[in-house]
Chains A and B, each alone.
Chain A
């Protein structure tokens, strides 16, 4: 789960990470009031969306005084902000963060992630603050300093100091930076984060070390023990169909193609997309109905697939294990009756109770094409998506 910058800063400051004074605002009026509460003349007004690159897209404005902050908020709130991370559709801005400006001496980078290869968290730091860490990693991997730490113990202070000195910091600034690193590692552990990123982390002319921007990603699997954090989820930032799918216990990702896929299991669902492309078609989505899909879930899955106007054919690929073929077949029949398909349907069933499943489909009278294996299914679905019909519908 992703959080907004203002939420991330609020949480990090609870862990003692210094952030600029500021407040979130949903209206120009609130933004003006927030600016008035600040001690500085310079005010930064930042669009709050779940995407980076906001500055380049016009979502961040540095202004002087509360009246100017109001104007900036007026311009940003409600705008459709397009950045390299939002996709061409952009995101509607509902809130701005109004913060005190500061005089920056140095911009650095700090981030904590789980290093999958080493199977432990790592704190990464770089002197090249303000740049995407992926860009730094690609251009100059040696510029990224790393300290791995025990997930139970957190980053040791000596590791944090080692990073600070290696970044070229000295004196009080080094001490403050090291302290910030330790606090980031603590937040990562306690919040069950997948990502804590401070970019840039700045040293101000006044000698302060601040998290000027902050990004926080949380482990969805751990939200059961963070009910307070779960409430911070911003549903408006999620693709509506993906949100509906997840509410229905389905795993769905929208893609650009025209063949809808309904599959059990994530690996098989990806492989189904791959084989569609292998045979010259394009998948419209990833959809995993899961191990114990019910008839209601299958119906919901069809509804979601059919809501995509680009879908010209649907490929159902089921390898029955826990999810038995007859249960799935019954679900397909019921769903097809309820939602009126309107596009060709290709079904490939294999695995537990496959004979019963095939019989249910055959006796349903549904106009579907049965496929004998994955390749056959993909070929038929691709042909169907082009308005061709390869051969006659075989007996399921």
Chain B
């Protein structure tokens, strides 16, 4: 078992354009149970051998889908998230990059009110190694196991996962929570899930500059987490006031620096890797000590 997704999770894909199709194929190859696509105006057709529906509700009624992966372009992404939440999906993974921040500020409370879990936007998605992936991460770098991974980044997560897998350390679930100022699932939310998951023994947390998600995660670890946590925070060399690629990666008004975040994480007893090349090694040491 693991958190969020398993091999039996029935998954929709919203947005069946080039990116959606390419990644849905990779997910199906990995073993994800993709049951249908949603493409307004194309209902009744087929796509990758699966039925297409005009609306999420129709797709859910016909297939019993529980989760969705969203590739809808940014102007319609928040709408797609809301449609998925209203249709009763319990897990919504929004891969789309460039969603207006206020769209998410308006959408997130609606998603939460309906009891759905949103991952992203602007994220690589979520994978339970060896079982299923809802996202764009390369499947083969992962290895089934008992370490949870949560990260605001895409390729830096792959780097961390690769370091773990290369050392024989498998992962229970890896969650890319996304690089935007407002995301559906925070570091703190993910840690809570891993803490409650009987199949996760330890967690790797990868943060970056901007906001206070790492500080909030640190407070949770200090107060309630019994499992060991290793961390890395990217952006120690980032200048203030400049957006570093991700919409949320900016040191604003002198707040949100890597130094502050590392300090908060260390104060909570988290093992912080100073170099991004030492993420796997830091976790390996924690597991030996545990």
Interface residues of A (CB under 8 A from B): 114, 116-117, 119-121, 133-134, 137-138, 151-152, 189, 192, 194, 219-222, 224-225, 251, 253, 255, 263-278, 283, 286, 288, 291, 319-322, 350-352, 373-375, 378
CB nearest to B242 among chain A residues: A253
Interface residues of B (CB under 8 A from A): 74-75, 98-106, 108, 124, 136-138, 141, 151-159, 162, 179, 181-182, 206, 208-213, 216, 232, 234-239, 242-249, 253-254, 258, 274-278
> In the bound complex, what is the Cα–Cα distance between A116 and B210 (angstroms)?
9
The reply to whether A224 and B253 form a contact with Cβ atoms under 8 Å apart is no
CB < 8 Å: which of A117, A121, A151, A319 contacts B159?
A319
CB < 8 Å: which of B141, B182, B244 contacts A114?
B182
CB nearest to B135 among chain A residues: A321
Which of B102, B136, B238 is packed against the most chain A CB atoms within 10 Å?
A: B102
The reply to whether B244 and A253 form a contact with Cβ atoms under 8 Å apart is yes
Query: How far does the Cβ of B282 sit from chain A's closest Cβ, in whole Å?
Result: 13
CB nearest to B124 among chain A residues: A321
The reply to whether A116 and B248 form a contact with Cβ atoms under 8 Å apart is yes
The reply to whether A219 and B138 form a contact with Cβ atoms under 8 Å apart is no
A268: chain B residues at CB < 8 Å are 153-156, 159, 234, 276
> In the bound complex, what is the Cα–Cα distance between A220 and B232 (angstroms)?
28
The reply to whether A374 and B277 form a contact with Cβ atoms under 8 Å apart is yes
Query: How far does the Cβ of A347 sit from chain B's closest Cβ, in whole Å?
Result: 15
CB < 8 Å: which of A273, A319, A350 contacts B237?
A273
The reply to whether B105 and A321 form a contact with Cβ atoms under 8 Å apart is no
> In the bound complex, what is the Cα–Cα distance between A267 and B179 (angstroms)?
9
Query: How far does the Cβ of B103 sit from chain A's closest Cβ, in whole Å?
Result: 8
> In the bound complex, what is the Cα–Cα distance between A224 and B277 (angstroms)?
39
The reply to whether A192 and B275 form a contact with Cβ atoms under 8 Å apart is no
Query: How far does the Cβ of B112 sit from chain A's closest Cβ, in whole Å?
Result: 10
> In the bound complex, what is the Cα–Cα distance between A266 and B159 (angstroms)?
13
B106: chain A residues at CB < 8 Å are 151-152
Which of B98, B152, B155, B216 is packed against the most chain A CB atoms within 10 Å?
A: B155
The reply to whether A270 and B238 form a contact with Cβ atoms under 8 Å apart is yes
A271: chain B residues at CB < 8 Å are 153, 156, 159, 232, 234, 276
> In the bound complex, what is the Cα–Cα distance between A251 and B138 (angstroms)?
23
The reply to whether B155 and A270 form a contact with Cβ atoms under 8 Å apart is no
B242: chain A residues at CB < 8 Å are 253, 286
B235: chain A residues at CB < 8 Å are 270, 273-274
Which of A116, A117, A274, A275 is packed against the most chain B CB atoms within 10 Å?
A: A116
B275: chain A residues at CB < 8 Å are 274-275, 278, 374-375
Query: How far does the Cβ of B139 sit from chain A's closest Cβ, in whole Å?
Result: 10
The reply to whether B211 and A117 form a contact with Cβ atoms under 8 Å apart is yes
> In the bound complex, what is the Cα–Cα distance between A17 and B253 (angstroms)?
25
Which of B108, B236, B277 is packed against the most chain A CB atoms within 10 Å?
A: B277
B179: chain A residues at CB < 8 Å are 266-267
The reply to whether B212 and A117 form a contact with Cβ atoms under 8 Å apart is yes
> In the bound complex, what is the Cα–Cα distance between A350 and B141 (angstroms)?
10
Query: How far does the Cβ of A153 sit from chain B's closest Cβ, in whole Å?
Result: 10
B105: chain A residues at CB < 8 Å are 114, 119-121, 151
Give the 6 A-B residue pairs with the shortest CB-CB distance, closest first.
A267-B153, A266-B245, A265-B155, A267-B156, A222-B100, A375-B277
> In the bound complex, what is the Cα–Cα distance between A222 and B253 (angstroms)?
23
> In the bound complex, what is the Cα–Cα distance between A44 and B209 (angstroms)?
39
The reply to whether A269 and B277 form a contact with Cβ atoms under 8 Å apart is no
The reply to whether A374 and B276 form a contact with Cβ atoms under 8 Å apart is yes
The reply to whether B277 and A267 form a contact with Cβ atoms under 8 Å apart is no
The reply to whether B182 and A321 form a contact with Cβ atoms under 8 Å apart is no
CB nearest to A351 among chain B residues: B138
CB < 8 Å: which of A116, A255, A270, A351 contacts B234?
A270
CB nearest to B105 among chain A residues: A151
A152: chain B residues at CB < 8 Å are 106
The reply to whether A267 and B152 form a contact with Cβ atoms under 8 Å apart is yes
The reply to whether A222 and B102 form a contact with Cβ atoms under 8 Å apart is yes
CB nearest to A271 among chain B residues: B276
> In the bound complex, what is the Cα–Cα distance between A220 and B104 (angstroms)?
14
> In the bound complex, what is the Cα–Cα distance between A352 and B26 (angstroms)?
12
B151: chain A residues at CB < 8 Å are 267
Q: Can you report 12 residue pairs joining A to B where beta carbons are below 8 Å apart?
A: A116-B182, A119-B104, A137-B253, A138-B254, A221-B100, A251-B244, A265-B155, A267-B154, A268-B155, A268-B276, A270-B156, A319-B162
